[in-house]
Amino acid sequence: MKVLHVCSEVFPFLKTGGLADVTGALPQALDKFGIANRLLVPGFPAFIESLENKIIVKEITNKFGASSVRVLFGTLNGVEAYVIEAPELYNRIGNPYADKDGIAYSDNYLRFALLSWVAAQLAASLDQEWVPDVVHGHDWHAGLTPLYIRSIEEYTGIKLAKTILTVHNLAYQGVFPDYVYNELELAQKYFSVDGLEFYGQVSFLKAGLYFADKITTVSPSYAIEIQGKEQGCGLDGLLLSRAHDLYGVLNGVDPDVWSPANDTTIAKNYEIKSLEGKSECRKALQSHTGLEEQDDKPIFVVVSRLTEQKGLHLVVEAARDIVGKGGQLAILGSGEKEIEEAFTELATEFPQSIAVQLGYDENHAHRLIAGGDVILVPSRFEPCGLTQLYGMAYGTLPLVRKVGGLKDTVTDSSLENLDDGIATGFVFDAFNIDEFKSAMRRAFALYSRKTEWNRFQKIAMAKDFGWDVAAKTYIDIYKS
């Protein structure tokens, strides 16, 4: 079976969040089970520069605002890939979606329409040497793919590839003004409630949810939650109507990237049998960030987008409590200016207890997760979450809200769960500061019992969140 993955970012070439981790790992996991995978990505500089053994598959002129488009084929980190070279649309340094001030590019609708259009052309034998059986789109950037494929099928009467859309975060929908529709090269009939029209606007994600043969999202709980009004983001009615085609498939962790026994970016390797190296990683983290060296109170770490959705305002509010109890806080991320500034001010006020690095740094992310004791993921909503999985793999226990994929992956440290040997983290329910602080106090209390803490860590590290289970589930969906 041949599967084409359509996406905007892939680790380790280009990453702004968990989407890249998934698209970097899933094709290789599927390959082990005999699936022939290829990627299709926009020609961002990181992909153009990394593409090896490249050849030109097709040259096209004057498409979606680009005077010249070339579809290239080669390999990215050993995975076969198509890259769309269109410098006018994609040759921009930095963030793939927004300018240096964080403002979304005004032509994003053209940039990602081209991505979906090329995916549909590949389904229609643009590359006669390789025609996919399934086209698997990821997030709104690939949302028009099922519609372009449907459009070709209706025009030619020829059935093409089946389509799947995976929603990594329903909050990001690719919504644009109605007047852009005329530039998308689609029949007028598709701009309707039974199509991509969304409250008078154009929604790339809605197009994918409406026209894809199957829909997946990244955890079983999130698949249920998005069918309700609270987390449905205005699309709950459509998702509820498609419930029989909607699957929740929990993301995995790539052990080649996230394993404390083999991680070349951390101060000292360690494994479940012996956690001695973790204390060295802890000291290295304190030294690197300027935190005071101490080992009797926990270090709380954050590796996240700094947004209200991620619950980071709760961390801001609780930071003084952490310091007051002798704990420390180390943060990596970027996002809402108000939260960035609040963390920066706290770090200035408590330089030996709070450290903040704005932006994203893959090596520092590994340093934090290896050297920390508790990783904070107190999200308002969370499709899957990956950092809590990374934390467990490294014996850095997650403190999470009971929602979405966090609920599916973390077992609370209640007395009965500790006695049963199944606790893997600290879970709170209501999205408020009192519940967050209660979970935080439990983390302090358990950390003071070093023997219990060490046992707790090993239970978390023993959990298997590899990609094999997810890959097998996706294969079943492909076959269906």
121: domain CATH number is 3.40.50.2000
- Both 475 and 411 in one domain: the answer is no
CA distance 367 to 403: 27
Predicted local distance difference test score (pLDDT) of residue 360 = 86
Within 356-397, where are the H helices? Answer: 362-371, 387-393
- Both 233 and 324 in one domain: the answer is no
- Both 445 and 475 in one domain: the answer is no
Within 157-275, where are the H helices? Answer: 204-211, 220-225, 229-232, 236-241
DSSP E strands in 50-111: the ranges are: 52-63, 66-76, 79-85
Predicted local distance difference test score (pLDDT) of residue 101 = 83
- Both 288 and 145 in one domain: the answer is no
- Both 187 and 303 in one domain: the answer is no
Predicted local distance difference test score (pLDDT) of residue 16 = 87
- Both 169 and 298 in one domain: the answer is no
Predicted local distance difference test score (pLDDT) of residue 17 = 83
- Both 416 and 340 in one domain: the answer is yes
Q: Give the pairing type, strands 201-203 and 175-176.
A: antiparallel
Residue 263 is assigned to a structural domain of this protein: no
Give the chain's length.
480
Predicted local distance difference test score (pLDDT) of residue 94 = 76
User: Residue 316: helix, strand or coil by DSSP?
Assistant: helix
- Both 226 and 347 in one domain: the answer is no
Residue 257 is assigned to a structural domain of this protein: no
Residue 267 is assigned to a structural domain of this protein: no
Predicted local distance difference test score (pLDDT) of residue 263 = 97
Range of the domain at 159: 2-252+468-479
User: Residue 75: helix, strand or coil by DSSP?
Assistant: strand
Residue 109 is assigned to a structural domain of this protein: yes
User: Residue 30: helix, strand or coil by DSSP?
Assistant: helix
- Asked whether the beta carbons of 65 and 88 are under 8 A apart, the reply is yes
Residues of the chain with pLDDT under 50: none
Predicted local distance difference test score (pLDDT) of residue 172 = 94
Residue 160 is assigned to a structural domain of this protein: yes
- Both 142 and 285 in one domain: the answer is no
- What is the CB neighbour count within 10 angstroms for residue 27? 27
- Asked whether the beta carbons of 75 and 41 are under 8 A apart, the reply is no
Helices 433-447/312-324 angle, 10° precision: 40
Integer CA distances (angstroms), 239 to 67, 175, 207, 406, in order: 38, 17, 12, 21
Residue 408 is assigned to a structural domain of this protein: yes
- Asked whether the beta carbons of 67 and 89 are under 8 A apart, the reply is no
The structural domain count of the chain equals 2
- What is the CB neighbour count within 10 angstroms for residue 305? 16
- Both 228 and 320 in one domain: the answer is no
- Both 306 and 185 in one domain: the answer is no
Residue 246 is assigned to a structural domain of this protein: yes
CA distance 135 to 120: 8
- Asked whether the beta carbons of 219 and 251 are under 8 A apart, the reply is yes
Residue 445 is assigned to a structural domain of this protein: yes
- Both 213 and 359 in one domain: the answer is no
